[in-house]
Amino acid sequence: MRNASSEILISDTFEADEGVHIPVMLDEVIYYMEPKPGDFMIDGTLGGGGHARELISRISPHGKFLGVDRDPDVVLRLNLSSPGVDVHIENANYSEIPEVMERLGFMKADGLLLDLGFSSIQLGEGKGFSFMKDEPLVMTYSPDDEPLSYALRRMSRNEIKDIIAVSGEKYAGKIADAIWSAERKHRIEMTGELVEVIRSAVPRNYEKGRIHPATRSFLAFRIFINKEFEHMEKALRSIPEILKPGGRAVIITFQSLEDRIVKERFRELAKEGKAEILTKKPIPATYEESERNPRSRSAKIRAIKII
């Protein structure tokens, strides 16, 4: 299993902006995607629809837009119809975009955006993403996926440890022991119970109080239960099937593990002669945006152009 350095950047932990999702690095997304009237753009992570709305407004008239999200609530909530654009919204995994395009009879697109992780709206929907609230221990984007509380029941200590260690958590072994023992006594059904078990396994002055003791474990469990890396890898490898020559893919990541996967897959595509890397280094949000939108503080953009 992939392991992280102890200095992994933890984002996805800000809790202040629950309920409203402000699109991250919108100017940079538009700069690298270059949407123009008549283009076919794909957003694989619709969320609150912030990036999607801007893309749709720029490809009008005669544009086509495909929006995808794994969470069926996102798809039900969003109304993105626009007079000048042929808009299609699908409840699917972004790793299945080539299959969705084939089913809908679509040709290759001009742009693809993936803005990873969960949206601030989902923090307010009882999905169990937040360690600051007591909610059912689900942590999945889709109700079709197995909730974390069920998965924990059949895991060994070592499996739990390996999952947590991915985040660079140095107390992964101790936390795994505590979770495994607690599960034997009674089922952990709520995020609040999981937080207490984690807290009991780490020193009182965990990370000198810089981050919450459950931050890394929650991130690791979310990555695991949603198979995030597997889906990312598959989606990134399929970019040449999704985009036409000249088409641009923009990926926004929020922590170093995700960014490393994007960097490696982009390098591979460039080596194979299939793509040109547009961002030699990952692009961070501006200081002004970080001040305005805490979510953008750990955001990084990488972009490629299909040759």
Which positions lie near ligand SAM, rule CB under 6 A?
Answer: 21, 23, 44-45, 47-51, 68-71, 74, 93-94, 115, 117-119, 141, 231
Q: Are 267 and 302 in contact (CB under 8 A)?
A: no
Q: Which is nearer to ligand SAM, 21 or 64 (CB)?
A: 21
Asked whether the CA dihedral 100, 106, 107, 112 is positive or negative, the reply is negative
* Contact predicate 20/120, CB 8 Å: yes
Question: In angstroms, what is the minimal distance from the CB of 286 to ligand SAM?
Answer: 17
Q: What is the DSSP string of 160-205?
A: HHHHHHTTT-TTHHHHHHHHHHHHHHS---BHHHHHHHHHHHS-TT
- Report which residue's Cβ sits closest to ligand SAM: 47
Nearer to ligand SAM, 141 or 180 (CB): 141
Residue 302, strand partner residues: 251
| 133 vs 174 by CB, closer to ligand SAM | 133
Q: What share of the chain is helix, strand, coil (3-state, %, to 5)?
A: 45, 15, 40
Give CA–CA dist 82/61, Å, rounded: 9
CB of 99 to ligand SAM, least distance (A): 13
Nearer to ligand SAM, 24 or 179 (CB): 24
> Which of residues 21 and 265 has its CB atom nearest to ligand SAM in the complex?
21
The answer to whether the peptide bond before residue 98 is cis (omega within 30 degrees of 0) is no
Measured from the CB atom, the residue of 28 and 71 that comes closer to ligand SAM is 71
